[in-house]
Amino acid sequence: MASQLIARAGRAFGPVREARGVPRWIVWAGIVLTLLFVVMALAAPWIAPYEFDQYKDASGQRFVKQQAPSSAHWFGTNVQSTDVMSRVIWGARTELKVVLFAVVVSLLVGLPLGLLSGYFGGPVDRVLVLIMDALFAFPYLLLAIVIAFLLSDKFGSGVATAAFAISAVYIPQYFRVVRNHVVSLREESYVEAARALGARPRTVIGRYVFQNVVQSVPVIATLNAADAILTLAALGFLGYGIQPTDAAEWGYDSSRALSDAGAGIWWTGLFPGMAIVLLVTGLTLLGEGLNDVLNPVLRRRKMEPVTLPPRVPREDEA
Amino acid sequence: MADASALLEVEDLQVHFPLRGSFGARLVGKDVGAVQAVDGVSFSVARGEVLGIVGESGSGKTTLGRALLRLVDPTGGSIRLEGEDVLGLREREVRAMRRKVQMVFQDPHASLNPAMTIETAVGHPLRIHGITRDRADIRRRVSAVLERVGLSPPDQYLSKYPSDLSGGQKQRAVLARAVILSPSLLVADEPVSMLDMSVRAKILELMLGLKSDLDLTYVYITHDLATAKFFCDRVAIMYLGRIVEIGATEEIFANPRHPYTQSLLRAIPDPDPSRSIPRDLPRGEVPDAAEPPLGCRFHPRCPKAFAPCGWEARDLHDMLEQRWAAGGQELFEAERLQLGDLAGLDQPGSHATVPSATGTGADVATLLDQIREDDSRERIWHGIESITPRPGGAVIEFHPGHDPVLRPEGGAEVACHLYNPELADPPGEAPPA
Amino acid sequence: MSATAPVLDVLDLRVWYGSARGAVRAVDGVSLQIRAGEVLGLVGESGCGKSTLGRGVMGLLPDGSAVDGQVLFQDTDLLKVSDRQLRRMRGPDIALIFQEPMTRLNPLMRIEDHFSESITAHEPKLSKAEVRRRSLEALGGMGIPPTRFRNYPHEFSGGMRQRIMIALALVLRPKLVIADEPTTALDVLVEAQILSILADLKRNFDTALLLITHNLGIVAEACDRVAVMYAGRIAEEGDARTVFSQPAHPYTRELLRSVISLNTTGLHYIPGAPPSLIDPPAACKFHPRCPDAMRVCAQLAPVEQRLSAGQRVECWLHGPSDRIPEGGREPLEQGRIAVAEEA
């Protein structure tokens, strides 16, 4: 069973390996950048020199406030005397935690809804599409703020709240993509054949439709993740996201760095900002690259250059 | 009418697909019509027999095939499989019924799930119907059936994906999947029309072998009369939702009676070098199934149509258009100017008004008479009873039309007024041969 | 018929293109000629390269394909002219009719506009009345009534759309028409109508027609000459009646036998499957499936032989005897063609 899964994953990965030219570089650049931050997030306890909210060192001495980058603090310190680099590294963990949570929740809600809505159609489908389109029409940031606000009343502002707020915003996306794909697959011969075999709708959806729909998910998920990070950072920037005492968060740090900029303190804003840019770029490259590589419509049959061998004189030529 | 040895009995089957009208029409509940894909079809299939359903696009043959498996729900009539009524079954029972009747689809490249290996795909019916879940058992049975369909050695094919196989191999896998549960009835919808010539014979031979080995009964749906002649014991010719002729294969092909059957036979391309392209073929194409012609649905194209065949306003419009297409621009412009808006001729009806552009109906009547003089061989003139000038245009009265029904004629049954003694008799109406 | 110089003269055309698994030899040395007023049927099964050949003649090959040889249209080598010149020729000189008419007409343009665009692109000086006259004439020849001149493509059925496509292709009176499976997607009766229209073409306008199809029946009825293609080469070519009544190449013979017609009494088929164009068999490409294969067929590629009555064939069964080595005529020992290789 495991070997079958590995074999199947290997098959799915095939197009990535076979990619040539520009799409290949895009995918691999995306993979590298994203992995960089994933490693950073996972290894945070070991590579961050200090805790994210640590403002004094082991001996109890307070760090210098807003100190420029130095050997003790590679990225300098901020107004609360915490080490910028540590906050960037711990921040990676926060970002990825929240985004992973958000993507998973969105998928868990949006995917099945899209599957069922697309396959069965009818009034349920029409109603759901209407709701999802309405949600989709909202400016997503506004929606996230409203939801975060409402949830923070009940659950306090923390990682979970931010994650829920973001997932709610992205559910319509997954729903739409999955539902549309299912609607087009529903008419395929092999789906009808499955029904003709006597399969229950559950089996038809699970084994025949889902397996072919799921191909489009990685692309949407990575692009969504990129977007989600921006949303999270925006929430943090505006003060509706994660509070500094809960975890390090790049958006929040950037907002605090605003006032520093006038005083010529550049390190408090530059590094968190760059982190946001790099991670989002990495995820976007990965998503777009995957799209170019996996999407059979976009995947141009790469013509290998071929040279005709000189004409072999056939028997009837002198 | 119930035949004890009949495996399948279909009576007066109707499959109409309602048309979605405009929002306003739906709101008000106005009936916007339906596509009459299958409109009153009756036949029976004996055990071990091969019945061919032959028709062109729009004939409803594909819809009929799907209705037999209840992949679409009929809107009328009855289907009895091994004596049991199929249309009354609930969804769960329908699924159980699909152990007994299976389908082979037309496009081998699209009938297999691209995400499943051959072993999983062919063995899936076993899981679906709960026959067995033991993986070793499934593999054994799948290997046996793969061997039977010629995908040998089976080990080579078990872990392959559909994209690794050729068209013929895919169709063999589809057949394997269809017979693994030993169904009684197999509905084959154009199983070989998307395959190359040299592969078709192999697959047909395979199907014949399976029939005798597994005691199968086939309903073979195709547009290709040649394979139908070879493969089927009995053949039913369908046109626009109805069966126009049905009988034993030898009888139908030796002695085609319905003009449509005759045209089909003449039109089949044949690599016999002494043949040449047939002329005087029925003109036009299969019309829209939502608004089928009145009376006999073939009459607008039939080279032998006569008075009772169901002539109507639309036929008149068609005749004028054909005349203008062939006659050249000057003729078109000269005659067109004398007539008003012809949109009123696009409704079915047994009388019609041809409006005049000049205001007098007499002009229109004269024009029509002149057209009749020009080409009196046009069949529509058999169907026009009178042309009466009125102010503003001419009123055309058509001969009342009748729906043809299947009647025994020789060794077959034909739905054509030419063979209906009540309608074909009156002197002067007898159709020229 | 007419002038002796052929309208189309293809000399040893090769079209190869690369894929991940190697070079695909879609067209591997094909020569043929078509004269004015002549209909040449190019017949073969799927994957034999016939569509590539049709497109290669028009210059519609995908990027990255390697082309070699000569394609002489009247006196111009189509492989050597510039893209612009080719575009100018497509329409008034050479026209192409595709298989799927539904996808080739612009759904947003009326039929009238399709015609005026096509005509005025090549003859901008014509008056509107003249453009209309020519369009209606072309359409009328196809049985499309003038009352529907201003309709949109979706208002026509499949068969009528194909006829509109043909009318569009012919309105500029091209000298050569290449039809790639023009009737495959159509019903038998409509197919017969269109074939009779194409047959009238040559009679009325002296057009040369290259009809590419896999349907032997159509070729027998509608074509003057036929070329049978197998694995990128022409196996046999000659007068249609002669080739069909006395096929010289075993592939043609077996193919004819495997066609199911109204006279079929038993099933015949060719064992095995058409060869891959990436790695075709050595020497004669048909030898693994040929019931008459000899030893030499697996050793040396066959030589083109001219038989009487303008028929030419590439098969060792027809000699030349002096090229066949000692013992070459012995029957070839074929392993039982594994059903695993069956199509």
B297 found inside a domain: no
pLDDT, residue B1, reads 41
In one-letter notation, the amino acid at residue B366 is T
Contacts of A165 (CB under 8 A, 6+ apart): A144, A145, A147, A148, A151, A235
Q: How far apart are CA C237 and CA C10, in angstroms?
A: 14
Chain A stretch 6-45, residues whose beta carbon is closer than 8 A to a beta carbon of chain C: 18
Domain membership of residue B6 as a residue range: 1-100+184-287
Mean pLDDT of C130-155: 87
Sign of torsion over alpha carbons A55, A61, A66, A70: negative
C320: cis peptide before it, omega within 30°?
yes
Q: Does A316 contact C at CB distance below 8 Å?
A: yes
CA atoms within 13 A on the CB side of A115: 22
Q: Which pLDDT tens digit goes with each residue over B379-388?
A: 888 888 888 8
Specify the 3-state DSSP secondary structure of A232.
helix
pLDDT, residue C339, reads 44
Domain edge (last residue) among B164, B182, B200:
B182
pLDDT, residue A179, reads 93
pLDDT, residue C146, reads 87
Angstrom distances, CA of residue A75 to CA of A52, A71, A283: 13, 9, 24
Tokens 């591997």 appear where?
A: C28
**Are both B342 and B385 inside the same structural domain?**
yes
Closest CA of chain B from C64, distance in Å: 25
Closest CA of chain C from B152, distance in Å: 6
Q: Using CA coordinates, name the residue in chain C closest to A19.
A: C20
C127 found inside a domain: yes
Contact A306 C303 (CB under 8 A): no
pLDDT of B180 higher than 90: yes
- Which residue did the predictor score with more confidence, C211 or A265? C211
pLDDT, residue B416, reads 92
Tokens 């006395």 appear where?
A: C246
B20 found inside a domain: yes
Angstrom distances, CA of residue A143 to CA of A137, A169, C93: 10, 7, 62
Mean pLDDT rounded to a whole number for chain B: 86
Query: In percent, how much of chain B has pLDDT > 70?
Result: 92
Task: Sort strands B185-189 and B217-222 into parallel, antiparallel or unpaired.
Answer: parallel
Contact A198 B129 (CB under 8 A): yes
**Are both B194 and B74 inside the same structural domain?**
yes
pLDDT, residue C63, reads 72
Q: How far apart are CA C58 and CA C69, in angstroms?
A: 14
Q: How far apart are CA B99 and CA B178, in angstroms?
A: 9
Phi, psi of B196 (to 5 degrees): -65, 160
pLDDT, residue B432, reads 44
In one-letter notation, the amino acid at residue A24 is R
The neighbours of chain B, by the rule of 3 or more Cβ pairs under 8 Å, are A, C
List the single residue in B57, B150, B263 with the smallest CB-CB distance to C339. B150
pLDDT, residue A6, reads 64
Give the number of A-B residue pairs with CB atoms closer than 8 Å: 59
Mean pLDDT rounded to a whole number for chain C: 84
Specify the 3-state DSSP secondary structure of B222.
strand
C122 found inside a domain: yes
B339 has which bridge partners?
B356
Q: Which pLDDT tens digit goes with each residue over B149-159?
A: 988 889 999 99
CA atoms within 13 A on the CB side of B33: 10
List the single residue in B198, B200, B328 with the smallest CB-CB distance to C140. B328
Q: What angle do CA B340, B345, B351 make, to 5 degrees?
A: 110
At how many degrees (to 10) do helices A250-262 and A217-238 cross?
Answer: 40
B74 found inside a domain: yes
Q: Using CA coordinates, name the residue in chain B closest to C259.
A: B197
Specify the 3-state DSSP secondary structure of A306.
coil
- Could you give the ipTM of this predicted complex? 0.83
Q: What angle do CA B231, B232, B235 make, to 5 degrees?
A: 140
Closest CA of chain B from C124, distance in Å: 22
Domain ranges of chain A: 18-52+78-294
Domain membership of residue C159 as a residue range: 100-173
Q: Which pLDDT tens digit goes with each residue over C42-66?
A: 998 887 888 888 888 877 887 778 8
C58 found inside a domain: no
Contact A190 B96 (CB under 8 A): no
- Which residue did the predictor score with more confidence, A25 or C117? C117
**Are both B320 and B194 inside the same structural domain?**
no
CB A78 within 8 Å of CB A252? no
- Which residue did the predictor score with more confidence, C231 or A158? C231
Contact A18 C68 (CB under 8 A): no
CB A223 within 8 Å of CB A231? no
Sign of torsion over alpha carbons B302, B304, B307, B309: negative
Angstrom distances, CA of residue A265 to CA of A6, A75, A76, A278: 51, 11, 10, 21
CA atoms within 13 A on the CB side of A219: 16
Testing the interface with A: which of B128, B139, B171 to mutate, by most A Cβ within 10 A?
B128
Specify the 3-state DSSP secondary structure of B248.
strand
Closest CA of chain C from A305, distance in Å: 6
Sign of torsion over alpha carbons B408, B412, B414, B420: negative
**Are both B89 and B209 inside the same structural domain?**
yes
Q: Does B96 contact A at CB distance below 8 Å?
A: yes
List the single residue in C19, C66, C301 with the smallest CB-CB distance to A307. C66
Q: Does C189 contact B at CB distance below 8 Å?
A: yes
What residues of B are in contact with residue A212 (Cβ under 8 Å)?
113-115
Q: Does A304 contact C at CB distance below 8 Å?
A: yes
Q: Does A308 contact C at CB distance below 8 Å?
A: yes
List the single residue in A195, A197, A212 with the smallest CB-CB distance to B125. A197
Q: What is the DSSP letter of B391?
A: E
Number of alpha helices (DSSP H) and beta strands (DSSP E) in chain C: 9, 12
Among B216-220, B241-245, C338-342, which is the least confidently predicted range? C338-342
Q: How far apart are CA B191 and CA B147, in angstroms?
A: 20
What residues of C are in contact with residue B282 (Cβ under 8 Å)?
189
Q: Which pLDDT tens digit goes with each residue over C257-303?
A: 888 888 888 888 888 888 888 888 888 889 888 888 888 888 888 88
pLDDT of C304 higher than 50: yes
**Are both B84 and B225 inside the same structural domain?**
yes
Total of domains in chain C: 1
Task: Residue B403: name the closest of B297, B316, B259 by CA.
Answer: B297
Q: Does B139 contact A at CB distance below 8 Å?
A: no
Query: In percent, how much of chain B has pLDDT > 90?
Result: 38
pLDDT, residue C262, reads 83
How many residues are given for chain A?
A: 318
Total of domains in chain B: 3
C108 found inside a domain: yes
**Token representation of residue B220:** 């073979």
Q: Does A184 contact B at CB distance below 8 Å?
A: no
**Weakly modelled stretches of chain A, pLDDT under 50:** 315-318
Q: Using CA coordinates, name the residue in chain C closest to A317.
A: C303
Q: Which pLDDT tens digit goes with each residue over B19-74?
A: 776 666 555 655 667 888 999 999 999 999 999 999 988 889 999 999 999 999 99
Testing the interface with C: which of B166, B192, B197 to mutate, by most C Cβ within 10 A?
B197
Contact B103 A196 (CB under 8 A): yes
Q: How far apart are CA A75 and CA A86, in angstroms?
A: 9
**Are both B21 and B125 inside the same structural domain?**
no
**Are both B233 and B158 inside the same structural domain?**
no
What residues of B are in contact with residue C183 (Cβ under 8 Å)?
none
How many residues are given for chain B?
A: 433
The neighbours of chain C, by the rule of 3 or more Cβ pairs under 8 Å, are A, B
Angstrom distances, CA of residue C39 to CA of A292, C106, C232, C310: 44, 29, 21, 15
C125 found inside a domain: yes
List the single residue in B110, B116, B128 with the smallest CB-CB distance to A199. B128
pLDDT, residue B261, reads 93
Radius of gyration of chain A (CA): 25
Give the number of B-C residue pairs with CB atoms closer than 8 Å: 182
Contact A197 B124 (CB under 8 A): yes
Q: Which pLDDT tens digit goes with each residue over A51-104?
A: 877 777 777 777 777 777 777 778 888 777 788 888 888 888 888 888 888 888
Segment B288-294 long-range contacts (CB within 8 Å, at least 24 positions apart):
B289/B35, B289/B36, B289/B37, B289/B58, B289/B60, B289/B240, B289/B241, B290/B19, B290/B33, B290/B34, B290/B35, B290/B36, B291/B33, B291/B348, B292/B36, B292/B39, B292/B240, B292/B241, B293/B348, B294/B348, B294/B350, B294/B401
Contact B128 A188 (CB under 8 A): no
pLDDT, residue C106, reads 87
**Token representation of residue A5:** 């899964």
pTM score of the predicted model: 0.84
Contact B226 C262 (CB under 8 A): yes
Q: Which fold has domain A18-52+78-294?
A: MetI-like fold (1.10.3720)
Q: How far apart are CA C117 and CA B21, in angstroms?
A: 35
Chain C stretch 158-177, residues whose beta carbon is closer than 8 A to a beta carbon of chain B: 158-160
Confidence label for B367 from pLDDT (cuts 50, 70 and 90): confident
Confidence label for B427 from pLDDT (cuts 50, 70 and 90): very low
pLDDT, residue B431, reads 45
In one-letter notation, the amino acid at residue C158 is G
Contact C220 B271 (CB under 8 A): yes
What residues of A are in contact with residue B158 (Cβ under 8 Å)?
none
Chain C stretch 199-238, residues whose beta carbon is closer than 8 A to a beta carbon of chain B: 199, 214-222
Closest CA of chain A from C207, distance in Å: 33
pLDDT, residue A2, reads 59
Q: First vs last Cα of chain B: how many Å apart?
A: 35
Contact A195 B71 (CB under 8 A): yes
pLDDT, residue C249, reads 93
Specify the 3-state DSSP secondary structure of B143.
helix
Specify the 3-state DSSP secondary structure of B113.
coil
pLDDT, residue C2, reads 45
Q: Does C206 contact A at CB distance below 8 Å?
A: no
Tokens 């690259």 appear where?
A: A289
C126 found inside a domain: yes
Contact A311 C68 (CB under 8 A): yes
Testing the interface with A: which of C68, C277, C313, C315 to mutate, by most A Cβ within 10 A?
C68
Chain C stretch 257-296, residues whose beta carbon is closer than 8 A to a beta carbon of chain B: 258-264, 267-270, 273-274
Q: How far apart are CA B277 and CA C219, in angstroms?
A: 11
B162 found inside a domain: yes
